[in-house]
Amino acid sequence: MLFQDLNLNPAIIKAIEDQKYKKPTPIQEKAIPSVLSGKDLLGCAQTGTGKTAAFAIPILQKLSKDSSNNKIRALILAPTRELATQISESFKTYGQHLDVQTGVVFGGVTPKRHIKVLKREPSILVATPGRLLDLVEKGYADLSSVEFFVLDEADSMLDLGMKEDVKNIISKLPKVRQNMLFSATMPKEVSKLVNSILINPVKIEVESKSLNENGIRQQVYFVEEPDKTSLLLQLLKDKTFESVLVFARTKKKADKISKAINIANIRSKAIHGDKNQSERQKALELFKNKEARVLVATDVAARGIDIDKLSHVVNMDIPNVPEVYIHRIGRTGRAGMGGTAISFCSNQETTFLKDIEKLQGKSIEVVKSHP
């Protein structure tokens, strides 16, 4: 299937062509026609599958048919400011040849900026729940005209304790609307949310297994805790480690690892919850521009990071929740581009490794010859 087969507005097709996408990804192939036909959607998919375009393109298509209304008509909730920013950028990219405005609001910056954004009357608003609620309660944002509601990364939203805010926002939306919910994992709490929001949804599952088919090479190095940083520095000597995202379990560890890499004369930045918005943006920019080769991040800070051509993901530890591992490695090999995901596994972590292999239904290649 080609994008041209989806009956899209030529202005959207042009924007897609500008992006040089050859054809829709599997989730897009299924989601775009479903959303266009007015159905609710449940997407079990993570970043890297093309899920943002899977909802952004049909929403833009529908909004483009009638752009007379200057109220918020599409609301997209995302758990982090990074993800919210990226989603709004996607809407702007795919909608660049249309007369549709997109705005984004998130916590951590002064509300003044967002009041300005809302004054421009965007028909698409991407937001993190807390800040949006604040703006609604103060009368700056009106959700009474929302026709399309998207909840992205619902699982991490609940993990981050945003359930009440999300419920509160939903209670302010019109009863009749089209809903889309995306989640990489489906724990009970998310299923409950699904049942309360979606009506007869079309379910699309992009299996975690398909990641491997996306061309991600997965490797594991057995190494004890105190030697992990030295092993990382050793690996970084290899110039094919062009753009490396390193996951650390804690903020303190992330800082420590980043410092060690910088001391070894390799430019590295750390991002985590203790860094303020401008520090995070700056680190991300340096990494995207290839001025920093390595970005060390905690899981929460890394949510929604979307960087093309990430060559490697390195897990300094094995996550005890297999789905977290799947999330992490999805940062490389984006939309079919090759990449390598490396995990460091200590003696204590072998059971976590087994859980991951079980979830994926295959074992991970062990690299034996290393220092």
To ligand AMP, the closest distance from the beta carbon of 334 in angstroms equals 5
State how far the Cα of 63 lies from the Cα of 275, in Å rounded to an integer.
Answer: 37
State how far the Cα of 108 lies from the Cα of 130, in Å rounded to an integer.
Answer: 10
State how far the Cα of 159 lies from the Cα of 43, in Å rounded to an integer.
Answer: 18
Torsional class of 370: left (φ above 0), alpha (ψ -120 to 50), beta (otherwise): beta
Q: Identify which of residues 52 and 80 has a Cβ nearer to ligand AMP in the complex.
A: 52
Q: Identify which of residues 235 and 245 has a Cβ nearer to ligand AMP in the complex.
A: 245
Q: Identify which of residues 94 and 149 has a Cβ nearer to ligand AMP in the complex.
A: 94
Q: Which two tokens stand for residue 21?
A: 């996408």
Q: Identify which of residues 91 and 344 has a Cβ nearer to ligand AMP in the complex.
A: 91
To ligand AMP, the closest distance from the beta carbon of 371 in angstroms equals 34
Q: Identify which of residues 25 and 208 has a Cβ nearer to ligand AMP in the complex.
A: 25
Which pairs with CB-CB distance under 8 Å and at least 24 residues apart come from 189-193? 189/158, 189/163, 190/154, 190/155, 190/158, 193/151, 193/154, 193/158, 193/163, 193/166
State how far the Cα of 191 lies from the Cα of 214, in Å rounded to an integer.
Answer: 27
For residue 216, give the H/E element and its range: strand 216-222
SS3 content of the chain, % helix, strand, coil (to 5): 45, 15, 40
To ligand AMP, the closest distance from the beta carbon of 204 in angstroms equals 13
To ligand AMP, the closest distance from the beta carbon of 98 in angstroms equals 18
Q: Identify which of residues 47 and 183 has a Cβ nearer to ligand AMP in the complex.
A: 47
- What SS3 class is residue 294? strand
Q: Identify which of residues 52 and 360 has a Cβ nearer to ligand AMP in the complex.
A: 52
Residues in the site for ligand AMP, rule: CB under 6 A? 21, 24-25, 28, 47-53, 306, 308, 334-335
To ligand AMP, the closest distance from the beta carbon of 64 in angstroms equals 19
To ligand AMP, the closest distance from the beta carbon of 93 in angstroms equals 8
What is the distance between the terminal CA atoms of the chain, rounded to a whole angstrom? Answer: 47
- HSE, side-chain direction, 13 A CA sphere, residue 125: 33
To ligand AMP, the closest distance from the beta carbon of 149 in angstroms equals 18
To ligand AMP, the closest distance from the beta carbon of 183 in angstroms equals 13
Q: Identify which of residues 50 and 95 has a Cβ nearer to ligand AMP in the complex.
A: 50
State how far the Cα of 217 lies from the Cα of 221, in Å rounded to an integer.
Answer: 13
Torsional class of 333: left (φ above 0), alpha (ψ -120 to 50), beta (otherwise): left
State how far the Cα of 104 lies from the Cα of 281, in Å rounded to an integer.
Answer: 15
